[in-house]
Amino acid sequence: MHPPARTNEQASPAAARPVRPSAGGAPAAPRRAVRALATPGPWKRGPVLAVCAVLLGLLLSLHEWITDRAGLGSLVETFLPWFGLLVPPLLAGALWRRSASAVVALLLPAVTWLSLFGGLLGDRSHPAGDTDLTVVEHNVAAGNPDPAGTARDLAGSGADVLALVELTPQAVDTYEKGLAEAYPYHTVQGTVGVWSRLPLSETRPINILDAGPLGATKPAGTTWAPNRALRTTVTTDRGPLAVYVAHLGSVRLMLRGGFWTDSRDRNARALAEAVAAERNERMVLLGDLNGTTDDRALDGVTSGLRSVQTEAGDGFGFTWPARFPVARIDHILVRGVTATSSRVLPATGSDHLPVAAGIGW
């Protein structure tokens, strides 16, 4: 006898269980497929982050193309190294969004920043024995509350040549007295001066076409001398060294008119002409140029000269403002000699930090 055939009513409970629809009315598997298709992949996530990364990279690589109308180009170039700080937060956002496109786009600003400033991150100084002469530049500040203390600090720096700018007639006597013992030779031309352990000759003022205020707030009763630049020759055992000292006009960030650089730019053009006409193959330019070497307005001055900070410094060497330096606007530039070291000295009573450099023949 054969067992009776199993009818539908006798089917197993599992086989008879109907397919339950999901809460949304569709089966679960199709819903997961739809959700997967609707979720963007890693290359489509974070489009805003990717665009920001590309724009940052273009700004760093094409900053010279930015218009200088209202001083915009100069303003960007003054603080150009700081734009690198935007890379880490953009990277954090890209990782949080798991955006492959944003991570790849960040390679543009990261590589560009490293190509521009990566060489400044290490110590580039030479052995101390290569140094023949040490020079120091300092904007001593017209409103310096302690010029006598600043003079003591500078005298203790060990420099062979000091270049001081933003000297007021009221403070010159204080610096002359404070530096006389260490530096028997000196000259002051208007608001700039040189103190030297070695003889000076062929000293003359340089007209850089600006007799206006120095940019710092003028203390009550202070009068300005018109000259802001000089040229002299330092006599060394290795031969004559032409020394230029300059203080270019101030720059101002104004609500109306943008980044005002007219005075500085006019001074820079005049100084560039004087430097280009210098016949001595060995020369040093020291001064507050009120701009960085990345600033296009100083191209005429820096052309043919090398920054000691780039050649032999350690880090960026920011000098202003003294309490929290954000830009290197105080410079030592050389031609025909080698920079063996470059460093920023401790703060004095000024709102600028002094800079020092070792020079070798």
pLDDT of 26 reads 53
Residue 183, domain member (yes or no): yes
Type of residue at 333: L
Query: Does residue 203 share a domain with residue 109?
Result: no
Query: Does residue 108 share a domain with residue 218?
Result: no
Domain count of the fold of the chain: 2
Query: Does residue 186 share a domain with residue 71?
Result: no
pTM: 0.84
Query: Does residue 254 share a domain with residue 180?
Result: yes
Nearest to 81 by CA among 281, 248, 309, 246: 309
- What is the span of the domain harbouring residue 53? 47-117
- Say if residues 359 and 143 touch (Cβ distance below 8 Å): no
pLDDT of 216 reads 42
Query: Does residue 304 share a domain with residue 227?
Result: yes
Residue 18, domain member (yes or no): no
Residue 268, domain member (yes or no): yes
Domain boundary among 117, 145, 177: 117
Query: Does residue 205 share a domain with residue 248?
Result: yes
Query: Does residue 186 share a domain with residue 320?
Result: yes
Query: Does residue 325 share a domain with residue 208?
Result: yes
Residue 93, domain member (yes or no): yes
Residue 133, domain member (yes or no): yes
Domain boundary among 117, 147, 166: 117
Structure tokens at 216: 């710092």
Query: Does residue 353 share a domain with residue 230?
Result: yes
Q: In whole angstroms, what is the distance from residue 320 CA to residue 358 CA?
A: 21
Query: Does residue 331 share a domain with residue 191?
Result: yes
Query: Does residue 133 share a domain with residue 72?
Result: no
Q: Report the SS3 class of residue 113.
A: helix
Structure tokens at 70: 């209202």
**Domain at 217, CATH number:** 3.60.10.10
Residue 1, domain member (yes or no): no
Query: Does residue 337 share a domain with residue 226?
Result: yes
Phi, psi of 279 (to 5 degrees): -95, -20
Residue 256, domain member (yes or no): yes
pLDDT in tens, the chain (361 residues): 555 555 454 545 545 555 555 555 556 666 665 565 556 788 888 999 999 999 999 999 999 999 998 889 999 999 999 999 999 999 999 999 999 999 999 999 999 999 999 999 989 998 877 899 999 999 999 999 999 999 999 999 999 999 999 999 999 999 999 999 999 999 999 999 999 999 999 999 999 964 344 444 444 554 444 799 999 999 999 999 999 999 999 998 876 767 889 999 999 999 999 999 999 999 999 999 999 999 999 999 999 999 999 999 999 999 999 999 999 999 999 999 999 999 999 999 999 999 999 999 9
Residue 138, domain member (yes or no): yes
Domain boundary among 75, 97, 117: 117
